[in-house]
């Protein structure tokens, strides 16, 4: 893992540093996020928007920066999650995930580390192509030749969820862990834990709450989006189905 450094610690997590209060349009308010057993809580976050997202193109291992809306999304989700007191933020090594993770870490003084196990899916020769055009040609993105199989994504990312919680516990840290990654990683992870989540949208700048108890993962909240000036947020979808 690549350590990106510890952001400043100018005050307690969630203090007022010039950001407007962020509200959720649906689901539990952030001040209702479960405070019990924080060492077992993980927030799975999708990075902010990039130009390729806005154009409907497959990102994969391409490395576009956050656009103006993406920067606002990163700040908004950072403010929400900072109030839960994260002790560590992990992220994909791609710039869009790193910048989103740094926004979260900056707001609560948590260290940020890049972990290649949370890298986006590799779309091979179709990286940068319009998603709908790839689907029209092959029937699905999965069927396009040279695309990393979903099973391969899960093979690296699923054990990493346990690993980052275990690392925090071994370090004696008491608080939730945040992982900033990509929709092509988040969706299969959530469905592997709870297959009932067939309609995930995973917008940019959204977060999902997972809890591990006794080695068993539970999906608590999905598709949670802070309200930002960039647009309206879709409704949250609470879920309580165990693995």
Binding residues: 46-53, 96
- Backbone φ/ψ region at 31: left (φ over 0), alpha (ψ -120 to 50), beta: alpha
Q: Which of 78, 142, 162 is nearest to 112 (CA)?
A: 78
Pull the structure tokens for residue 150: 């979903």
User: What φ, ψ does residue 89 adopt, rounded to 5°?
Assistant: -125, 120
Whether 153 contacts 121, CB under 8 Å? yes
- Label the pairing between strands 41-46 and 177-181: parallel
Q: Please compute Rg for the chain using Cα positions.
A: 17
Q: Which of 39, 208, 183 is nearest to 118 (CA)?
A: 183
Q: Which residues fall in the annotated binding site for substrate?
A: 46-53, 96
CA–CA separation, 111 vs 114, rounded Å?
10
- Label the pairing between strands 216-224 and 41-46: unpaired
What ranges make up the beta strands (E) of the chain?
Answer: 2-5, 41-46, 88-91, 112-114, 177-181, 207-213, 216-224, 237-238
Whether 35 contacts 175, CB under 8 Å? no
């Amino acid at each position: 893992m690549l350590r990106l450094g510890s952001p400043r610690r100018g005050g307690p997590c969630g203090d007022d540093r010039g950001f407007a209060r962020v509200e959720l349009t649906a689901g539990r308010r952030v001040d209702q996020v479960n405070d019990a057993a924080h060492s077992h809580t993980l927030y799975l976050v999708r990075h902010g928007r990039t130009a390729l997202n806005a154009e409907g193109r497959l990102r994969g291992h391409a490395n576009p920066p956050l656009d103006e809306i993406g920067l606002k999304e990163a700040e908004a989700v950072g403010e929400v999650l900072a109030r839960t007191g994260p002790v560590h933020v992990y992220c994909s090594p791609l710039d869009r995930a790193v910048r989103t993770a740094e926004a979260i870490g900056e707001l609560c003084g948590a260290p940020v580390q890049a972990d290649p196990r949370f890298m986006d899916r590799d779309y091979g020769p179709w990286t940068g192509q319009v998603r709908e055009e790839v689907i029209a040609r092959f029937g699905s993105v999965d069927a396009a030749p040279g695309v990393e199989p979903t099973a391969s994504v899960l093979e690296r990312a699923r054990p990493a969820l346990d690993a980052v919680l275990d690392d925090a516990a071994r370090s004696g840290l008491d608080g939730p862990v945040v992982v900033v990654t990509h929709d092509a990683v988040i969706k299969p992870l959530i469905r592997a834990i709870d297959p009932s989540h067939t309609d995930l949208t995973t917008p940019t700048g959204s977060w999902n709450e997972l809890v591990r108890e006794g080695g068993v993962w539970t999906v608590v909240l999905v598709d949670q989006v802070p309200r930002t000036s960039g647009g309206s947020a879709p409704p949250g979808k609470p879920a309580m189905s165990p693995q």
